[in-house]
Amino acid sequence: MAKKLSIIVPCYFEEESVPLFYEAVEKVKDKLVDVELEYWFVNDGSTDNTLNEMQKLQIKDPEHVHYVSFSRNFGKEAALYCGLREATGDYVTVMDVDLQDPPDMLPEMLNIIETTDYDCVGTRRVDRSGEPPIRSFFARMFYKLINKISDTEIIDGARDFRLMTRQMVDAILEMSEYNRFSKGIFSWVGFKTKYLNYENQERVAGKTSWNFWSLFKYSIDGIVNFSQFPLDIAAFVGFISSVISGLGILFIIARYLIQGDPTSGWASTICIMLFIGGIQLFCLGIVGKYIGKIFTEVKDRPVYIIKEKK
């Protein structure tokens, strides 16, 4: 029997891209020998015609096209998780709808999965052309940092675009956490992954939903979700400052015994108090970040809510 390949496509305000994406994949379909395709479009709460476009495709190709529509915007991570849960294929791939993840690569990826013992074929951008230099700089810093402080390897430039075996998808589904950072999750579950390099592609239509600030927050989330190093920093800074202040106290007692008690040093006392106060707030902030994550995790709310599915 032919194997099934599920294609998961998260979409947020992508009315123009949805039909273009479908056409582009249908074009490479002939090269995907011996597999049947199954599309899972996930409408992540877009209020433009994205859902209409999905419905049109579903009516045109009801055997292969499925869609899920969320009750509001839950974010790409939630859309990916939903797609992975719905997909029934023996192989599963996740792709952006804006064709930044080229469907032309699918036959090669499928071939590797089928003929070698790799469990996953991922993709990596070799350049960051078309991106503001300052963003590239921060992105590089982020990958350097997170790989230093996390046990989970996060590959620089790796896209979410990947093709996985059913076994790996099932492992990912075991991770039902609320705070999802896919780059980390894909790596955390292990399995043998091969990376294919490709040149950065421009979007076919629409515009990116990321700005500098949202990327910054995303990177902080990635760190908090996959490393406890910031907590170690807080403990370390606290330890060092108490050692230093202990030495300071000894010094002052010694000076008092030798020199008497000259009333001086008011300004420096205030400076030190402010400094210590700042460090305390900083460390409290780090701890708070983790408590916030625990809070959302403990509430155990659903990662997404489906309004319509076909």
Q: By CB under 6 A, name the binding residues for ligand UDP.
A: 10-12, 14, 44, 73, 75-76, 79, 96-98, 100, 208-210
Residue with smaller CB distance to Mg ion, 116 or 214: 214
**Other CB atoms within 10 Å distance of the CB of residue 95:** 27
210 binds, among ligand UDP, Mg ion, none (CB under 5 to 8 A by kind): ligand UDP
Residue with smaller CB distance to ligand UDP, 82 or 286: 82
Q: How far is the CB of 157 from Mg ion (least distance, A)?
A: 14
Which is it for strands 91-94 and 158-165: parallel, antiparallel or unpaired?
Answer: antiparallel
Number of shown-chain residues binding Mg ion (CB under 5 A): 3
Phi, psi of 192 (to 5 degrees): -90, 120
The type of residue at 152 is T
Residue with smaller CB distance to Mg ion, 58 or 100: 100
Q: How far is the CB of 157 from ligand UDP (least distance, A)?
A: 12
Q: How far is the CB of 10 from Mg ion (least distance, A)?
A: 10
CB 234 within 8 A of CB 278: no
Residue with smaller CB distance to ligand UDP, 114 or 156: 156
303 binds, among ligand UDP, Mg ion, none (CB under 5 to 8 A by kind): none
Lookup result for tokens 């013992």:
117
164 binds, among Mg ion, ligand UDP, none (CB under 5 to 8 A by kind): none
Burial (CB count within 10 angstroms: exposed 0-12, middle 13-18, buried 19+), residue 157: middle
Q: How far is the CB of 51 from ligand UDP (least distance, A)?
A: 13
What is the full DSSP assignment across 171-206?
Answer: HHHH---SS--HHHHHHHT---EEEEEE-----SSS
Residues listed for the chain: 310
Q: Is 100 in the site for Mg ion (CB under 5 A)?
A: yes
Q: Given candidates 98, 101, 119, 160, which one binds Mg ion under the rule CB under 5 A?
A: 98
Q: How far is the CB of 210 from ligand UDP (least distance, A)?
A: 5
Residue with smaller CB distance to Mg ion, 16 or 98: 98
242 binds, among ligand UDP, Mg ion, none (CB under 5 to 8 A by kind): none
CB 142 within 8 A of CB 219: yes
CB 75 within 8 A of CB 160: no
* Token pair for 206: 């629409």
Q: How far is the CB of 52 from ligand UDP (least distance, A)?
A: 15
122 binds, among ligand UDP, Mg ion, none (CB under 5 to 8 A by kind): none
Q: In the sheet where 120-125 sits, what is the strand order?
A: 193-198, 120-125, 158-165, 91-94, 3-11, 35-43, 65-70, 306-309
Lookup result for tokens 């997170």:
146
CB 131 within 8 A of CB 96: no
Residue with smaller CB distance to Mg ion, 114 or 156: 156
Residue with smaller CB distance to Mg ion, 125 or 168: 125
Could you say which DSSP state residue 127 is in? -
Q: How far is the CB of 295 from ligand UDP (least distance, A)?
A: 22
Residue with smaller CB distance to Mg ion, 53 or 98: 98
57 binds, among Mg ion, ligand UDP, none (CB under 5 to 8 A by kind): none
* Token pair for 23: 């056409």
Q: How far is the CB of 201 from Mg ion (least distance, A)?
A: 9
Angle between the N-to-C axes of helices 106-115 and 17-28, in degrees from 0 to 180, rounded to the nearest 10: 50
Q: Under the rule (CB under 5 A), what is the footprint of Mg ion?
A: 96, 98, 100
